[in-house]
Amino acid sequence: MLTRRLFAQGIAATGLATAASPAFAMIGQDIILPPAPLEGVAIAPEFYPTVLRVKREFEPGSIIVISSQHFLYYIVRPGVAIRYGVAVGKAELVFRGACVVGRKVEWPSWKPTPEMIERNPKAYKKYEDGMPGGPTNPLGARAIYLYQDGRDTAIRIHGTIEPNSIGHSVSNGCLRMVNEHVIDLYDRVALGAPVMVY
């Protein structure tokens, strides 16, 4: 089973390629990454999508999230991953575990969970009947729904109307991405793909 330590060792053992190195050009020349975030979106450059080397045993098509580092890795093919920056849950709300991509939705609707409403009724009570998808919806342009044992976990990998939150622990448990980045991931990942969140 893939552990966080094994995954971290797999990245550390191979080293992170840089855009200036010939190795990077070789592994990433056929992978088209999304553009830098739009003007006014202030995220650190390390949270832009980056192609890098990982151990070859990581399953192509899978997603691995290292919450403490605010990174999501999509394994493109053996030995190659795209790393994206994410925002994750606040300390007490960080989701961890193995799941699969159970559903994918463009411009998803959103409804806060009962737990969210209970924790912060001032912010969420008014949305208890739901909110249609669109540019002002908190789930942004795309949502990837995570399932365990055939059941929706209520955890999503989704876009955001707060892109400056990327790289921080601020959500109610979901994994936020810049809209351009989640669209890129959405187009790559398949239904049923394994996801591991550490």
Which residues have a catalytic role annotated?
A: 158, 174
From residue 167, alpha-carbon distances to 33, 170, 189 in Å are: 19, 9, 22
Beta-bridge partners for 146: 101
| 125, 103 contact by CB (below 8 A) | no
b/e sequence 90-113, b meaning 16+ C-beta within 10 Å: eeebbbeeebbbbebeeebebebe
Instruction: Supply φ then ψ for residue 69, to 5 degrees.
Output: -105, -5
Is residue 49 within 8 Å of 82, Cβ to Cβ? yes
- C-alpha 50/C-alpha 47 separation (Å) is 8
Q: Is 33 helix (H, G, I), strand (E, B) or coil?
A: coil
